[in-house]
């Protein structure tokens, strides 16, 4: 046996000195197999002694260790806030990858584990409170502490056991997260894996709800604040208008503007009326001041016709009729005939009556003119006062617009 093992070695050593090829590269499979069997024959007793011990230990482990089953669940995160239906998983960009890693850390956190433990009452489950094998249970019974564990210690132990059995990984570079959980009961493993997935979804919804609730509360407070500011501004505007005598009309403009427009229109009309009354009075005064007032004169006739006075028109008609008869009688009977003299006397009386009537009309015109001038003066004063008030209001309107 020694010759069979050493002979190739000598040959290989000689070949190695003659060639640069490595030693192991020149050993054939048959030679390797022969070397293995040679080692077994030399250590046969040791192998026979170790093999039963190894088999025994394996049997003890299999008999004492409780088998574990793994339940898995998969969730897809919606980092873009969009539901992707019937789409292939896309490659994550760095920002989304960091978000997925953050969500995985949340699933592995103590707080999240505590929430699942409380929901499933795992602190009352012997699988998590105790041990998962009879051997470890025996060891813990032999070396257990004299004093019982507190609730916090029990909870912390359950959290550690829960986290050891929980696996959270991302599938490739997708948005899918795989959740795995190991348990001695396959149904329990599937239940806890699904509970972790459901808890993650509820946690995400709760986080979004809290975000919306906080934003809604802030917006409601802001709206209340703005409503108070608007009410205060409205009150300030009303108080300022009252203090500065600013009154808005239906069309939205201040009343002073409309007053100014109305006063301006009335003043223009009053001035026109005063001018017209002054013209009528001047014309009538000029007729009355003439030395020879002849009702038969065409100018006087035009004036009396424009007056539309029935008495004057009737007297002038009588005067013209008498003047026509006087001319006829004077030509027939002579200028000094009694009938002609009587006609001239009647004509003189009618002329005086016409003058008296014209004087009364002149007095009426003078009164109208006085009224027109007084109204004009009053409107001018009102207009001046309104302009002054409008200037003050305009200055106040600057601050009013700011309010």
Q: Is the pLDDT of residue 275 over 50?
A: yes
Q: Is the pLDDT of residue 98 over 60?
A: yes
Supply the pLDDT for residue 164: 92
- Which residues, at least 6 apart from 276, have a Cβ–Cβ distance to it below 8 Å? 372
Candidates 45, 63, 46; CA nearest to 135 is 63
Candidates 48, 224, 14, 199; CA nearest to 115 is 199
Q: What is the pTM of this model?
A: 0.43
Supply the pLDDT for residue 313: 76
Candidates 128, 218, 212, 137; CA nearest to 166 is 128
Q: Is the pLDDT of residue 211 over 70?
A: yes
Supply the pLDDT for residue 152: 84
**pLDDT tens for each residue of 158-183:** 999 999 999 999 988 888 999 999 98
What sign does the CA torsion over 52, 53, 55, 60 have?
positive
């Amino acid at each position: 046996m020694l010759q069979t093992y050493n002979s190739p070695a000598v040959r290989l050593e000689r070949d190695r000195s003659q060639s640069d090829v490595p030693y192991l590269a020149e050993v054939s499979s048959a030679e390797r197999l022969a070397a293995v069997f040679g080692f077994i024959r030399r250590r046969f007793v040791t192998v026979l002694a170790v093999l039963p011990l190894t088999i025994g230990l394996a049997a003890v482990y299999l008999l004492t260790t409780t088998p574990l089953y793994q339940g898995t669940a998969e969730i897809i995160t919606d980092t873009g806030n969009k539901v992707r239906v019937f789409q292939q998983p896309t490659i994550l960009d760095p920002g989304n990858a960091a978000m997925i890693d953050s969500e995985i850390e949340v699933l592995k956190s103590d707080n999240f584990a505590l929430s699942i433990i409380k929901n499933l009452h795992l602190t009352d489950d012997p699988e998590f409170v105790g041990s998962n094998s009879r051997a470890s249970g025996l060891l813990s019974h032999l070396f257990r502490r004299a004093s019982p564990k507190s609730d916090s210690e029990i909870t912390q132990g359950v959290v550690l056991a829960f986290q050891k059995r929980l696996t959270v990984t991302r599938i490739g570079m997708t948005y899918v997260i795989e959740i795995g959980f190991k348990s001695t009961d396959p149904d329990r493993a599937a239940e806890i894996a699904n509970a972790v997935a459901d808890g993650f979804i509820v946690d995400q919804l709760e986080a979004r709800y809290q975000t919306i609730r906080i934003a809604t509360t802030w917006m409601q407070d802001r709206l209340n604040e703005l409503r108070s500011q608007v009410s205060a501004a409205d009150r300030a505007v009303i108080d300022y208008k009252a203090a500065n005598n600013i009154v808005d009309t239906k069309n939205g403009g201040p009343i002073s503007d409309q007053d100014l427009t109305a006063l301006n229109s009335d003043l223009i009309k009053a001035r026109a009326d005063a001018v017209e009354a002054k013209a009528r009075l001047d014309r009538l005064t000029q007729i009355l001041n003439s030395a020879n007032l002849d009702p038969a004169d065409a100018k006087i006739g035009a004036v009396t016709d424009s007056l539309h006075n029935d008495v004057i028109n009737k007297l002038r008609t009588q005067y013209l009729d008498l003047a026509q008869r006087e001319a006829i009688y004077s030509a027939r009977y002579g200028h000094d005939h009694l009938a002609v003299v009587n006609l001239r006397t009647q004509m003189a009386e009618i002329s005086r009556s016409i003058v008296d009537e014209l004087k009364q009309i002149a007095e009426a015109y003078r009164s109208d003119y006085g009224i027109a001038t007084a109204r004009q003066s009053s409107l001018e004063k009102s207009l001046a006062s309104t302009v002054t008030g409008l200037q003050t209001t305009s200055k106040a309107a600057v601050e009013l617009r700011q309010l």
